[in-house]
Amino acid sequence: MTSPSRPVAEIDAENLVLQGPKTFRVHGSVYTDEAVFREEMQRIYSSTWVFVAHESQLPHPGDYKTSHIGLQPVIVSRSEDGAVHVLFNRCVHRAAVVCRMDKGTANYFRCPYHGWVYGNDGRLTGISQRGGGYDDDFDAPEGLKRAARVESYRGLVFASLNPDVPPLTEHLGNARHWIDRQFDRSPEGSIDLRYAPHVSQYEGNWKFQAENTVDGYHGDHVHESFWMVQEQFGRESGTHGAYTQSSVRDIKKMRRQGQVMGFEGGHGLWNTPFDPAALDGLLAGPHADYYQTLLDRHGRDELLVMLSNINVYVFPNLGVLHGQLRVIRPMTVERTEVALYPFALSGAPDALNEERLAGYERFFGPSSFGSPDDVEIFALNQEGLQAGAVDWLILERGISREKVVDDVDRTSHVTDETPQRQFYRRWLRAMGASAVPDTVPEPLRAQARVAGAQA
Ligand code: FES
Ligand SMILES: [Fe+2]
């Protein structure tokens, strides 16, 4: 047996995921092996669409936001003509990062090392002390290198380093309808990242956050403190963003009626329904006009879906859920940054946006019931992986009851690991698995049996 903490000599992706009719196991080295991580940065983050910014973060010419495509620093910048550029944040002289700020407004970027200057469209506009130092025929680069492709979907700006990447909407597949449903809660159909983000790092692999964003199995356990407060104080403890029912029993009942989905592109959905009986209350409540506008526009059936709890994960680095964009940034094989950007619904009443923000803060803020507990678990995952006597992680929950929909996507009970399996099918394709086996090769089956016997 190999140990997860020992590097795999040669990445052979199809042997890192066991698949069979009733089998789905992921090898521990997928989370611990630096060679796997390097391959991911190349084969995933340098090959597909990666979320880099939202257009509301750069509304005016000159606005910019720094970001990352995997490990690679970029500047997302809006030039005077309104175009959005995704530029590598690396001086073409001797490589220093030219912009050290998170965001701002600038006509130009001046490199802090020797002062070369770039326009906000990336063009090299000045070389300091040029005269005499460089020959007249000096072959100066045009400017900051730029991402091969940039596209946006409903204000979400994605970039790709792969000139041949399929169109963004094709990449998003049916997951985009669940993004639509969240953004359509805005009377103007758009969101606004007007609030400051919460940014944290954890000692664990980036895929733990990716898996967890659409994990409907963990809530009863990881977020037990939330349930205890809710049990004791009910509605007095606040709405917690998503959970407006007053009793734990009611909330859990609704949560168990949900579904998860795994989309072809590796994206996922965790969806729990909105109680139809609560709609009348909203239509008679303090934001009645807002809800009536949505009802008139979308109809009752669609509005009920729009008001449900929707967690979307977009492969590889974006979550859209509970009024926030969640951006995953891999840093090393065992260190990850997560930035949560709460967003406002453009055109919605200020009081409604404030309520949404307060709910977000209660469940996802730094001292809340939700995200801090999740992040702690990711570090525990990484620590547990050091026990190399166990080879495989088991992602088989619901494997026999999930269903294929629209030929390419899968759906199942809300607690099933369907999105996580679909993530790894996409991961396998990206990592160059020559064939994704339908059945488990016998030697690996034997390994799995041994690992299972030791568990
Ligand atoms: S590294 Fe940027 S000017 Fe020298
Ligand atoms: Fe959680």
Ligand 1 geometric centre to CA of 116 (Å) = 6
Ligand 1 geometric centre to CA of 136 (Å) = 19
ipTM metric: 0.98
**Residue 9 identity (one-letter amino acid):** A
Residue 258: which residues within 8 A CB-CB, separation 6 or more?
A: 216, 270, 271, 272, 273, 308, 309, 414
pLDDT > 50? residue 164: yes
Lowest mean pLDDT across 273-282, 386-395, 396-405, 443-452:
443-452
Query: What residue's CA is closest to ligand 1, atom 4?
Result: 114
Q: What is the pLDDT of residue 327?
A: 98
Is the C-beta atom of 364 inside 6 A of ligand 1?
no
Average pLDDT in the chain: 90
Quick: pLDDT tens for 188-238.
999 999 999 999 999 999 999 999 999 999 988 888 888 887 777 766 655
Phi, psi of 375 (to 5 degrees): -65, -35
CA dihedral of residues 418, 423, 424, 428 (deg, nearest 10):
140
- Higher-confidence position of 90 and 242: 90
- Out of 111, 118, 145, give the residue to mutate to test ligand 1, the one with the largest number of ligand atoms within 8 Å of its CB: 111
Q: What is the pLDDT of residue 334?
A: 98
Confidence of residue 122 (pLDDT cuts 50, 70, 90): very high
Confidence of residue 246 (pLDDT cuts 50, 70, 90): low
Q: What is the pLDDT of residue 445?
A: 43
CA atoms of 48 and 43, how far apart (whole Å): 8
pLDDT > 80? residue 452: no
* Nearest ligand, CA 216: 2
What would the mean pLDDT of 396-412 be, rounded to a whole number? 95
Q: What is the pLDDT of residue 250?
A: 77
Confidence of residue 252 (pLDDT cuts 50, 70, 90): confident
Is the C-beta atom of 111 inside 6 A of ligand 1?
yes
Q: What is the pLDDT of residue 235?
A: 61
- Out of 91, 109, 134, give the residue to mutate to test ligand 1, the one with the largest number of ligand atoms within 8 Å of its CB: 91
What would the mean pLDDT of 165-192 be, rounded to a whole number? 98
Top-level class of domain 173-273+308-428: alpha beta
Quick: pLDDT tens for 134-149.
999 999 999 999 999 9
pLDDT > 60? residue 455: no
Is the C-beta atom of 96 inside 6 A of ligand 1?
yes
Quick: pLDDT tens for 284-310.
999 999 999 999 999 999 999 999 999
What is the percent of the chain where pLDDT is above 70?
Answer: 90
- Out of 75, 88, 92, 94, give the residue to mutate to test ligand 1, the one with the largest number of ligand atoms within 8 Å of its CB: 94
pLDDT > 90? residue 251: no
Instruction: Say which residue the tokens 């204000």 belong to.
Output: 155
Ligand 2 geometric centre to CA of 80 (Å) = 42
pLDDT > 50? residue 9: no
Is the C-beta atom of 144 inside 6 A of ligand 1?
no
**Contact predicate 385/407, CB 8 Å:** no
**Closest ligand 1 atom to 92 CA:** 2
Give the residue among 429, 183, 129 at the shortest CA–CA distance from 306. Answer: 183
Q: What is the pLDDT of residue 434?
A: 64
Considering the chain, tell me which residue range(s) the CATH 3.90.380.10 domain(s) occupy: 173-273+308-428
Is the C-beta atom of 92 inside 6 A of ligand 1?
no
Is the C-beta atom of 109 inside 6 A of ligand 1?
no
Ligand 2 geometric centre to CA of 260 (Å) = 15
Q: Which two tokens stand for residue 178?
A: 């669940």
Ligand 2 geometric centre to CA of 74 (Å) = 30
**Residue 15 identity (one-letter amino acid):** N
- Higher-confidence position of 214 and 436: 214
Residues pairing with 355 in the sheet: none
Q: Which two tokens stand for residue 151?
A: 């596209």
CA atoms of 383 and 443, how far apart (whole Å): 28
pLDDT > 70? residue 439: no
Query: What residue's CA is closest to ligand 1, atom 3?
Result: 114
Considering the chain, tell me which residue range(s) the CATH 2.102.10.10 domain(s) occupy: 50-153
* Nearest ligand, CA 144: 1
* Nearest ligand, CA 376: 2
**Domain 50-153, CATH homologous superfamily name and number:** Rieske [2Fe-2S] iron-sulphur domain (2.102.10.10)
The 3-class secondary structure across 384-411, one letter per residue, is HCCCCCCCEEECCCCCCCCEEECCCEEE
Q: What is the pLDDT of residue 8?
A: 41
Ligand 2 geometric centre to CA of 350 (Å) = 28
pLDDT > 50? residue 444: no
**Closest ligand 1 atom to 128 CA:** 3
Q: What is the pLDDT of residue 109?
A: 98
Is the C-beta atom of 94 inside 6 A of ligand 1?
yes
CA atoms of 285 and 227, how far apart (whole Å): 26
Quick: pLDDT tens for 53-73.
999 999 999 999 999 999 999
Quick: pLDDT tens for 328-368.
999 999 999 999 999 999 999 999 999 999 889 888 988 88
- Out of 87, 89, 93, 127, give the residue to mutate to test ligand 1, the one with the largest number of ligand atoms within 8 Å of its CB: 93
**Closest ligand 1 atom to 115 CA:** 3
Ligand 2 geometric centre to CA of 212 (Å) = 7
**Closest ligand 1 atom to 94 CA:** 1
Is the C-beta atom of 314 inside 6 A of ligand 1?
no
Confidence of residue 42 (pLDDT cuts 50, 70, 90): very high
